[in-house]
Amino acid sequence: MALKDSKQAIGAVSELLKSQLTLETIANTVDIGRPEEVSATNCPKLNIFLYQIDFDGQLRNHPLDEGQRAPLWIVLRYLLTAFDISKESDTSDAHELLGEGILALNEMNFIEPSVLALADNPEPLKITFDRADSELLSKIMQGSDEKYRLSAAFQVRPVMIAPSVSPRYALPVKTVGSPAEEGVAIMPSLGPKLESVKPEKFTQGETITLTGIDIGTVIEEVRLGNIRFPVIAAKTGEIQALINPNPELSAGSYPITVIRTLKGGQIIISNAVLGTLLPTVTNATSGALTESAGLFSGNLTLTGELLGGPDDSIFVAFYRDKKIALMLEGAGALDQTTLTVNVDSDNALPPGDYFIILRVNGAQAANAPMVDWS
């Protein structure tokens, strides 16, 4: 789902609470608004009132993807009020209904959002109950009738609203000079200890070199996450492995470990070093574009390898004049060899040549092909 839909997240949370309370209680209706403005029709009923919005300080600097601006992480504070058939909130019937509502909210804890505006929320929404003392309720219940109504206070967090601001992506630096490869001193140890992987960022079909202590011909295999690859060359302090294509792999960062089997059959696993498997973009083409007021919209298709699957985080950016002109989310395919994104009329771009930047699970493709957008 598009991050742009998260701007409707506050209203979506209120509607989600309303629908769940309607299903889980005997209330005829669930209203949203100030408690004193509730109508007498369709009682008994529940009322939810959003009285305060806070910002989550712990998450305020946490972006969804490195290089993007951090979204707003907010906390929504609500009051839950129950009304009996006579629109009273201080009767036993109203109290029973309030108890049903509190139980329903507790059972909703750790919501898995499915509505459009909440689909990209990075973790389940959590409902916790706050203290609703007489001072809080007296301040909030100031209305035309100025009547005190017993209510339960609760909060929903964290709710994400993503900004529509261009990310800080840039073209990758591929080489800096030609550094000489040096050997690694070997010291006695109780098992293999990895120190480095070269290159730290690599593509499918590329050979990686691992160096460290007690690394050499005694190492049988290399693991990228849980995927195993054979050692193709070894010498004291260094081994090489070929990262063959594997349908279980996606682009992104993985822990790399090596395996040594002792004579007794005991397996020793080394410490992990971090390596990044990059997507590969071989071509970028535009489909038939539509012009409106000098701006062009249409489809962009990328071909290559590890372009992202259905469960991967995919971002495609149009780059020109040393800045991002447009960033889009992509939906990957199982074969990960093609990726199509749509530039709709609301995001139509001026004509010209654009570099295309692809990031999959935080890993940026080394190639940024140019596309003629006209």
Mean per-residue pLDDT for 290-295?
Answer: 94
Residue 175 lies in a domain: no
Q: What is the pLDDT of residue 185?
A: 35
Residue 109 lies in a domain: yes
Residue 2 has pLDDT above 60, yes or no: no
43 lies in the same domain as 150: yes
Dist CA 316 CA 66 (whole Å): 14
Q: What is the pLDDT of residue 167?
A: 78
12 lies in the same domain as 88: yes
147 lies in the same domain as 92: yes
Residue 20 has pLDDT above 80, yes or no: yes
Of 166 and 334, more confident: 334
Q: What is the pLDDT of residue 92?
A: 93
Instruction: Give which of 73, 75, 71, 62 is closest to 164, Cα–Cα.
Output: 71
Among 96-100, 124-128, 144-148, 227-231, name the one with the lowest average pLDDT: 144-148
**Integer angstrom CA distances of residue 355 from 170, 289, 295, 299, 316:** 10, 17, 17, 15, 10
CATH of the domain at 336: 2.60.40.1220
Residue 115 has pLDDT above 90, yes or no: no
CATH of the domain at 119: 3.30.2000.30
205 lies in the same domain as 308: no
Mean per-residue pLDDT for 332-359?
Answer: 94
Mean per-residue pLDDT for 130-138?
Answer: 84
258 lies in the same domain as 327: no
State the DSSP code for 248: T
157 lies in the same domain as 225: no
Alpha helices, H only, the chain: 9-24, 92-107, 134-140
Domain's final residue, options 247, 277, 307: 277
| pLDDT tens string 175-186 | 554 444 444 333
Q: Assign residue 14 a region: left if phi > 0, alpha if psi is -120 to 50, beta otherwise?
A: alpha
Domain's final residue, options 233, 255, 277: 277
Residue 168 lies in a domain: no
In degrees, rounded to 5, the angle at the alpha carbon of residue 345 between the alpha carbons of residues 339 and 347 is 70
SS3 21: helix
The amino acid present at 60, given as its one-letter code, is R
Q: Per the structure, how many domains does the chain have?
A: 3
Mean per-residue pLDDT for 86-105?
Answer: 91
Mean per-residue pLDDT for 162-171?
Answer: 77
Q: What is the pLDDT of residue 8?
A: 83
Q: What is the pLDDT of residue 180?
A: 43
Which range marks the domain in which residue 296 is found?
A: 280-373
Dist CA 62 CA 57 (whole Å): 10
Residue 153 lies in a domain: yes
Q: What is the pLDDT of residue 368?
A: 94
Residue 143 lies in a domain: yes
225 lies in the same domain as 347: no
Q: What percent of the chain has pLDDT over 90?
A: 56
Largest CA distance in the chain: 86
Domain's final residue, options 221, 253, 277: 277
- Quote the tokens at residue 338: 């093609």
Q: What is the pLDDT of residue 171?
A: 75
Instruction: Give which of 81, 51, 159 is closest to 113, Cα–Cα.
Output: 159
Mean per-residue pLDDT for 334-362?
Answer: 95
Residue 171 lies in a domain: no
CATH of the domain at 258: 2.60.40.10
Q: What is the pLDDT of residue 264?
A: 63
Residue 178 lies in a domain: no
Residue 181 lies in a domain: no
The rounded mean pLDDT for the chain is 86
Among 25-29, 266-270, 350-354, name the one with the lowest average pLDDT: 266-270
Confidence of residue 114 (pLDDT cuts 50, 70, 90): low
Confidence of residue 173 (pLDDT cuts 50, 70, 90): low
Residue 258 has pLDDT above 90, yes or no: yes
75 lies in the same domain as 210: no
287 lies in the same domain as 273: no
26 lies in the same domain as 46: yes
| pLDDT tens string 37-85 | 677 778 899 999 999 999 887 777 777 787 788 888 899 999 999 999 8
The single residue listed with the structure tokens 């298709």 is: 301
Confidence of residue 172 (pLDDT cuts 50, 70, 90): confident
45 lies in the same domain as 73: yes
29 lies in the same domain as 118: yes
- Quote the tokens at residue 320: 């020109």
